[in-house]
Amino acid sequence: MTVLVTGGAGFIGSHLVDHLLTETDENITILDNFSTGSDSNLSHLETDRVDTVDGDIRDASLVADLIADADTVYHLAAAVGVKRIVENPLDSLRTNLEGTKNVLEAAAQDATPTFIASSSEVYGKSEAIPFAEDDDRVYGSTASPRWGYATAKAADEFLAVGFQKEHGLPVVVGRYFNIVGPRQTGQYGMVIPTFVKQALAGDDLTVYGDGTQIRSFTHVADAVSITHELLSTPAAHGEVFNIGAPGPTSINNLAKRVIELTDSDSAITHIPFEEAYDEDFEEPDAREPDISKLRATIGREPEADLDRILRDVIANRTDRVSIE
Ligand code: UDP
């Protein structure tokens, strides 16, 4: 049996590869263009069960060939990181729209079970906390590139569910909520690796805005085991799920906790959003998943709390040479 993991050299993808190696006896093919993925995410692997293909998900014939040889597909390759997306909107749109279309079209040929990674970004600036899968989406103007990413991910979801309805493709869509953990880099703007790096260096922690915004940080180990379990559960096929931890935290609290757990002398500075991103940037205030559908379908939910996440990130950070 062969599993294709697109984006397998990325942060979440490489953890999924680790999980599949431990929990199954399947061989794994990784498709990654190493734009945000990295060799260092895979360098710990000592196995002949993993093949890595350096290629782009926008290459339809390459995607079709790899999927023809696969029994299962996890499609995690995407343009990621709010900062990067805002800076390269066109590249992000093309990767996320064309790439997913290529994967779904190829998977539909043999009805190959496929997981499509989506994002809590699809809820936009909705204030209906916590977000349930069938809630309304609330987006801003097309002048703000952030909503281009949300729109592309939402279009991916429509495509996935369309392929299930019209072609019988066994597909699961997972909306990831702030997935964090060891190996995540701060290069693309993600807050936890950024804060941990700042705290360990004794630099000020840069909280954007007033820091009262709320996020639900989810350990990557929970995210990948739930991803695997959902695609292995026939009742989940054709459905969209929130994959996120209950128990949200404010960014101010996060900064405080990082300083405490690293035993750092760093201070906290607040930086206006316009300075951190650009003038058209809109920041959603609160992101929290309703996970009743996840619980009802697989009988479990993410387990790691914020302290466990931070301890794992800090231990990993102090253990290895920085790649940033
Ligand atoms: N953030 C911050 N300082 C940073 C990076 C991010 O205060 O150096 C904030 C960001 O504005 C957001 C939250 O932390 O409110 C989470 O940001 P991230 O980019 O990790 O994920 P997002 O929820 O924006 O997708």
The pLDDT tens digits of the residues spanning 37-74 come to 999 999 999 999 999 999 999 999 999 999 999 999 99
pLDDT digits (tens, 9 = 90+) for 151-191: 999 999 999 999 999 999 999 999 999 999 999 988 888 99
Nearest protein CA to atom 24 of ligand 1, as residue: 82
Q: Which atom of ligand 1 is nearest to the CA of 120?
A: 25
Nearest protein CA to atom 17 of ligand 1, as residue: 191
- Please tell me the distance from the alpha carbon of residue 251 to that of residue 237, in angstroms, as a whole number: 35
Mutate to test the pocket of ligand 1, among 187, 215, 220 (most ligand atoms within 8 A of CB): 215
For the record, the structure tokens of 70 come out as: 């696969």
- What's 186's DSSP letter? G
- Please tell me the distance from the alpha carbon of residue 28 to that of residue 43, in angstroms, as a whole number: 15
- Which residue shows structure tokens 């000592």? 46
Q: Where are the beta strands (DSSP E) in 188-282?
A: 205-208, 214-215, 218-219, 239-243, 249-250, 268-271
CA atoms lying within 13 Å on the CB side of residue 311: 5
Mutate to test the pocket of ligand 1, among 36, 191, 220, 269 (most ligand atoms within 8 A of CB): 191
**Rounded mean pLDDT, 116-138:** 96
Q: Give me ligand 1 centre to Cα 190, in Å.
A: 6
* pLDDT value at 22 more than 70: yes
pLDDT at 105: 98
Q: What is the CA radius of gyration of the chain?
A: 19
- Please tell me the distance from the alpha carbon of residue 229 to that of residue 267, in angstroms, as a whole number: 41
- Please tell me the distance from the alpha carbon of residue 162 to that of residue 133, in angstroms, as a whole number: 17
* pLDDT value at 324 more than 50: no
Mean pLDDT of the chain: 94
Between 309 and 89, the higher pLDDT residue: 309
Tell me the CA end-to-end span of the chain in Å, nearest whole number.
36
Contact 24, 93 (CB under 8 A): no
Contact 224, 184 (CB under 8 A): no
pLDDT at 172: 98
Q: Establish whether 149 is a catalytic residue.
A: yes
Q: What's the CA dihedral at 166, 168, 171, 175 to 10 degrees?
A: 30
Beta pairing partners, 249: 215
Which residues have any ligand 1 atom within 6 Å of their CB?
A: 82, 178, 189-191, 194, 206-208, 213, 215, 251, 283, 287
From the list 74, 123, 139, 149, the catalytic residue is 149
